[in-house]
Amino acid sequence: MNRHDLIVIGAGPSGLSAAIEAAHAGMDVVVFDENARPGGQLFKQIHKFFGSKEHHAKVRGFRIGDELLKEADAAGVRVELDSSVLGLYPDREVVVRHGDEVFHAKGDAVLVATGASENTLGFPGWTLPGVIGAGAAQTMMNLHGVRPGDRVLMLGSGNVGLVVGFQLLQAGCEVVGVVDAAPRVGGYGVHAAKLARCGVPFYLSHTIVSAEGSDHVTGVTIGEVDRSWQIVPGTERHFDVDTICVAVGLSPMSQLLDMAGCDMVDDPKRGGLVPVCDESGATSVAGIFASGDVSGIEEASSAMIEGRISGAAIADYLGYLEHEGETRRVGELEGSLDALRQGMFAPKNRGTVPERTEEGCPVSMNLLEHGFLSDDEVLAYPGVTHAKGVHAVIECSQNIPCNPCQDACRKGCISIGKNITSLPVVVGDAACVACGMCVASCPGQAIFLVDEDAGDGFATVTLPYEFLPVPSVGTRGRGLSRSGEEICDAVVESVRCVSAFDHTNLLTMRVPEDCAMRARFFRPAPADADEEAVS
Amino acid sequence: MSDEAVRMTTNGASRSFSPAPLDRSRGLGDFVPAPDEDVLVCRCEEVTKGDIRRAVHDGMYTMTEVRRYLRVGMGLCQGQSCTKLVRRIMAAELGVSPAALDAETSRAPMRPVEMRVLGNEEAAGGADAR
Amino acid sequence: MTDTRTEGVEALGSTADVIVVGAGVIGCATAYNLALRGRSVVVLERDESIGNGGSSRNGGGVRQSGRDARELPLAMYAVEHLWPSLSEELGADVEYVKRGNLRLGKTEHHLEVLRGLAKTGREHGLDMRMLSTDEVRELNPFLSDEVIGASWCPTDGHANPLRTTLAFYRRARELGVRFVTGVDVLGVRTVRGRARQVVTSAGVFEGDEVVLAAGLGTRRLAASVGIDVPMRGLLIEALVTEAEPRMFPQMLGTADADFYGHQTEHGSFVFGGDSGLEESNGYAGGVPTASITAPAICRSIMKYVPRLADAKIVRTWAGWEDECADGVPVISTVDEVPGLTLACAFTGHGFGISPIVGRLVAELCCGEKTTLDVTAFRYDRFRAWA
């Protein structure tokens, strides 16, 4: 029978990372994946990742995927695609389907890195064509270049719902609203703010009453829910939509581990049925490991580090590492993983809403309930200051593990400090040269360059702009507030698209002076708007 | 219901522990139809929310029993999409936490596979397939 | 409950006319039949779910052909008198289909085996005969050219074992039977020479009668009152396909015993079989399927029914048979331990006779004259070779 040092099931971010780490230790590693392409969900991710440099912060997901594949290739990892693992049997034996055959293989260790599947929600009409998972929508848009619909309602305000909601806008869809039964936005505030300033309303404490249509979705009715999740009569609201995008969480695809007899636990905080395992991913069955979403839903950055930790631990388990080396390597990786698991959205803090940030700033309730910071609230954060001339305004109000802005500024205008969850501080005495690197580097698109007094009663606001077509200089339009309301006339003064920005265009608009701290998005006048297309 | 609630709301209990006793002679009260009875839950086997609620009142107190009673989650997707929904509906009906219900049993094959393919193990595995 | 031995035990325990250990199809059918007789019954089940042992893992055959002569009267009675009206009686569709059993042969040797089975059947009054190649194909046009003949028992059939077990449970519960699941039964204790107390992890349950219908577990429990039933665990495997267009209604088996199965009411095919290496499977504990078994079953099936090659398998599973030393069950009271009734060692063919076994066990418990003679199933029939 085919025999390997390590069999990895799943060539996503976690599985590949583990395979690379094990191959570096000199192991014979094979990775099976049922898909035609490796990389798992990474290649659907067109947004820039959070974190710090070691976590590939400010790099777009698909580029991280490219890097990972190159690294795997260089390390000698064998990736077998279109290879579906049908079962994980005693003695760490897998049965793999490839084409019209099945074959058996055994591993001295087996790492299950099968990821997660999307949850569904059973409302009347949920089986109509036009109700799709957010992941499916992403696949259509970002892998196949197909727009899922024209008018879309997004159900779910977690990061997946927010990120995909924004991508739908980029693809030219109209997003009629983001709906969530929870009373607070579940994902990062900065992701919500991106949608809100484009004019997407948030309906928290709301859920779908029904999807309408006979052979496909033609509309949707939502309603407010009370504390026992029942619809409050009279709060129903109808939208004409052709698509309902469902982003109500993920479930670990842990069936192989369960089948193999690993001790399992149903842990709602980790997304469902997960294996009981230690920090290295070792399960209760000797030689069987798990890493990534299959052992608890997080995101790709932590999945990659988990994979590396598992890879190193497996190499140690099979005697491929000097123990001291392994300890050091795992120590580094665990530090890196720990950094990602800090802040308000850390797994350990799931379900809690702090009243103040680590710095003592009040947490914006507007952001949590409506998706944007109010004009008053925004002033409370250390990234928001008034100054003469062009200066950075960093509307970052939640403690999340992310610090590319600090590295982006060569002039030392931005400081986060050692703790990467700290809110960025705009340093008063440093001189901003308006290079725009901070604006483009912020994965949350929360940094603006503002000149509050550009003369003649006008101000300029430079904002990150990831839509096509990019308006040309002189384009007239409207300035939009943080809530997406048109508040003033605006003219495009400059557009900068340099390769260092990695497709985050910097659009500078001229707005009335009193809108300097209020206008945060530009909407071209209708004639231009018609031409918006897929980003 | 209270004893059951106590024993079943123990969150995150490992499956390897033996289950706590459940006396099934206690009723759940009368079955009260809800307005969304007709909502499809398992689309592979066309099982509605009402079917599941009624099964609980018929004495099907575990995921395993409901699955066998109604075929819910036994279709082509093997419960991939509906298991969580079924769990939530059952838990609400029993007045316990969803995680307290028995976990689904995972069985090969993880993806449906044709007999001619599953039976065709010589070619790929070679003479040492066994 | 003033007995000092029960003091301090957790309060779940209680008293009933009969305590049944095991909520498989036999235990549930027994409880149902006891409830019909007005007895108060408590059923104790170790598993969290009803019917999670062999009752949910068998092929669903309601078969008379090929049975041991001792067991045949039970199967024939059940088919004639109980199965046809069972759905109606229990108020739930058990998906019983009485469209015959074809036992297929591919070689002259196979046909010889089949002739022997048919002869035994006929000798006991069962309508069973041999079919020629043409006759077989007329009944079932999907069979391969390799099939050269078959034995045919038109009154055999199949039912849904999952639903049947749960239907017995549901009806028994409606009739007032108290089911307690997730309770570990530790042993049986006698009081003044009679089996009376069932000691469990959740307290002591007392009954005038105690029925052990706990599959393989019965051996350990019977041992607590000094009785042994020679049986062992044998791992069997089965698989199910997605729903297919309706093809044929007969239950299929083979002279070679390489697979058996049928198309269910729902359209999916359920097949059981083995790899020939079962003796060594299952050493890891639990009920693991073996990686080599389902492929072997598939190859066997395709030799007989090539059309099924494209049918997709959605699930495989394994289960333990309580295989008796002489291949037929123990359905018996115990002379040395009055009050104790055994119903075990069904050796993988208990499902088809479960409706009558439930009645027989209830009759034994209640001291009634049994519907059928059960002396062949006594617990003390086992003798040394010499």
Burial of C123 (0-12, 13-18, 19+ CB in 10 A): exposed
What pLDDT band is residue C286 in, cutting at 50, 70 and 90?
A: low
Asked, for residue A44, whether it belongs to a domain, the answer is yes
Instruction: CATH number of the domain at A271, please.
Output: 3.50.50.60
CA-CA-CA-CA dihedral for C373, C374, C375, C380, to nearest 10: -170
* Contacts of residue B73, Cβ cutoff 8 Å, sequence gap at least 6: B42, B44, B45, B67, B79, B82, B83, B86, B104
Element (DSSP H or E) covering residue C188:
strand C185-191
**Same-domain check for residues C248 and C313:** yes
Count the domains in chain A: 3
Mean pLDDT of chain C: 92
The answer to whether B115 contacts chain A (CB < 8 Å) is: no
The answer to whether B113 contacts chain C (CB < 8 Å) is: yes
Cβ contact (<8 Å) for C48 and B64?
A: yes
**Same-domain check for residues A98 and A22:** yes
**Same-domain check for residues A75 and A135:** no
C291 contact residues in A (CB cutoff 8 A)? 87, 89, 93, 95, 104
Element (DSSP H or E) covering residue C202:
none
**Same-domain check for residues C334 and C257:** no
Final residue belonging to a domain, choices A246, A279, A297: A246
Asked, for residue C279, whether it belongs to a domain, the answer is yes
Final residue belonging to a domain, choices C324, C353, C377: C324
- Residues β-bridged to residue A32: A9, A80
**Same-domain check for residues C262 and C358:** no
Q: Where are the alpha helices (DSSP H) in A237-364?
A: 255-259, 300-317, 323-340
C237 contact residues in A (CB cutoff 8 A)? none
**Same-domain check for residues A20 and A106:** yes
The answer to whether B110 contacts chain A (CB < 8 Å) is: yes
Q: Give me the residue from C48, C298, C312 closest to B119, CB to CB.
A: C298
**Same-domain check for residues C124 and C191:** no
Asked, for residue A327, whether it belongs to a domain, the answer is yes
**Same-domain check for residues C168 and C317:** no
Q: Is A298 helix (H, G, I), strand (E, B) or coil?
A: coil
Please give, rounded to a whole number of angstroms, the shortest distance from the CA of A87 to a CA of chain C.
Answer: 8
User: In this structure, are residues A85 and A96 in contact, taking their beta carbons and an 8 Å threshold?
Assistant: yes
Asked, for residue A269, whether it belongs to a domain, the answer is yes
Asked, for residue C86, whether it belongs to a domain, the answer is no
Residues of the domain holding C15:
9-56+162-230+326-385
**Same-domain check for residues A305 and A387:** no
**Same-domain check for residues A105 and A49:** yes
Rounded Cα–Cα distance for residues A157 and A180 (Å): 6
What pLDDT band is residue A339 in, cutting at 50, 70 and 90?
A: confident
Least CA distance to C316: which residue of chain A? A87
Q: Give me the residue from C288, C295, C316 closest to A90, CB to CB.
A: C288
Rounded Cα–Cα distance for residues C122 and C105 (Å): 19
Asked, for residue C90, whether it belongs to a domain, the answer is no
Asked, for residue C82, whether it belongs to a domain, the answer is no
Rounded Cα–Cα distance for residues A244 and A280 (Å): 39
**Same-domain check for residues C193 and C238:** no
C177 contact residues in B (CB cutoff 8 A)? 25
Asked, for residue C94, whether it belongs to a domain, the answer is no
Cβ contact (<8 Å) for B124 and A98?
A: yes
B9 contact residues in A (CB cutoff 8 A)? none
Rounded Cα–Cα distance for residues A149 and A174 (Å): 9
pLDDT of residue A330: 83
Tell me the pLDDT of chain B (130 aa) as tens digits: 233 322 322 323 333 335 678 999 877 888 888 888 999 999 888 999 999 999 999 999 999 999 999 999 888 778 878 888 999 999 999 999 888 898 888 899 999 999 999 999 865 443 343 3
Chains B, C: CB contacts within 8 A come to 124
pLDDT, tens digit, 9 for 90 and up, residues B87-110: 999 999 999 988 889 888 889 999
pLDDT, tens digit, 9 for 90 and up, residues A366-391: 999 999 999 999 999 999 999 999 99
A268 contact residues in B (CB cutoff 8 A)? 11, 98-99
Q: Compute CA distances A28 → A8, A25, A87, A285, C342, whole Å.
A: 11, 9, 21, 21, 55
Please give, rounded to a whole number of angstroms, the shortest distance from the CA of B103 to a CA of chain C.
Answer: 11
Chains A, C: CB contacts within 8 A come to 18
Q: Do the strands C41-45 and A219-224 form a parallel or antiparallel pair, or are they unpaired? A: unpaired
> Phi then psi for C221, rounded to 5 degrees?
-70, -40
Asked, for residue C76, whether it belongs to a domain, the answer is no
A86 contact residues in C (CB cutoff 8 A)? none
Instruction: CATH number of the domain at C267, please.
Output: 3.30.9.10
**Same-domain check for residues C238 and C225:** no
Closest CA to A70 of A48, A25, A39, A26: A39
Among the listed ranges A123-137, A190-204, A338-352, which one has the minimum average pLDDT value? Answer: A338-352
**Same-domain check for residues C215 and C249:** no
**Same-domain check for residues C369 and C223:** yes
What pLDDT band is residue C215 in, cutting at 50, 70 and 90?
A: very high
Asked, for residue C312, whether it belongs to a domain, the answer is yes
Cβ contact (<8 Å) for C295 and A102?
A: yes
Give contacts of C 32-61 with B, CB under 8 A: 46-52, 56
**Same-domain check for residues A288 and A204:** no
User: How would you list the strands of the sheet with A206-212, edge to edge?
Assistant: A206-212, A219-224, A237-239
**Helix axes of B83-94 and B63-70: crossing angle, nearest 10 degrees:** 110
**Same-domain check for residues C239 and C340:** no
**Same-domain check for residues A112 and A189:** no
**Same-domain check for residues A105 and A132:** no
Is the pLDDT reported for residue C31 higher than 80? yes
A 10 A CB-CB count for C244 gives 17
Cβ contact (<8 Å) for B21 and C201?
A: yes
Ranked by mean pLDDT, the top range of A117-131, A268-282, C20-34, C280-294 is C20-34
Burial of A160 (0-12, 13-18, 19+ CB in 10 A): buried
Count the domains in chain C: 2
Asked, for residue C3, whether it belongs to a domain, the answer is no
**Same-domain check for residues C241 and C302:** yes
Least CA distance to A125: which residue of chain B? B39
**Same-domain check for residues C319 and C334:** no
**Same-domain check for residues A109 and A256:** yes
Asked, for residue A376, whether it belongs to a domain, the answer is yes
Cβ contact (<8 Å) for C294 and B121?
A: no
Instruction: CATH number of the domain at C377, please.
Output: 3.50.50.60
Final residue belonging to a domain, choices C324, C344, C361: C324
The answer to whether A286 contacts chain B (CB < 8 Å) is: no
> Would residue A254 be called left, alpha or beta, if left means φ above 0 and alpha means ψ between -120 and 50 degrees?
alpha
Closest CA to C24 of C142, C162, C132: C162
Asked, for residue A507, whether it belongs to a domain, the answer is yes
pLDDT, tens digit, 9 for 90 and up, residues A483-498: 999 999 999 999 999 9
Cβ contact (<8 Å) for A87 and C295?
A: no
Closest CA to A91 of A107, A71, A70: A107
More confident residue, A411 or B126: A411
pTM (predicted TM-score):
0.91
Q: Give me the residue from A103, A121, A263 closest to B14, CB to CB.
A: A263
C180 contact residues in B (CB cutoff 8 A)? 21-24
**Same-domain check for residues A146 and A187:** yes
**Same-domain check for residues A267 and A215:** no
A 10 A CB-CB count for C38 gives 10
Q: Where are the alpha helices (DSSP H) in chain B?
A: 2-8, 49-57, 63-70, 83-94, 115-118, 122-125
User: In this structure, are residues A249 and A289 in contact, taking their beta carbons and an 8 Å threshold?
Assistant: no
More confident residue, B19 or C53: C53
Asked, for residue A353, whether it belongs to a domain, the answer is no
Cβ contact (<8 Å) for B65 and C49?
A: yes
pLDDT of residue C7: 36
User: In this structure, are residues A133 and A246 in contact, taking their beta carbons and an 8 Å threshold?
Assistant: yes
**Same-domain check for residues A129 and A239:** yes
Rounded Cα–Cα distance for residues A494 and A475 (Å): 10
Asked, for residue A531, whether it belongs to a domain, the answer is no
Residues of the domain holding A442:
372-524
Least CA distance to A102: which residue of chain C? C295
Final residue belonging to a domain, choices C324, C342, C365: C324
Final residue belonging to a domain, choices A246, A272, A295: A246
Q: Is A174 helix (H, G, I), strand (E, B) or coil?
A: strand
- What is the ipTM, given to two decimal places? 0.90
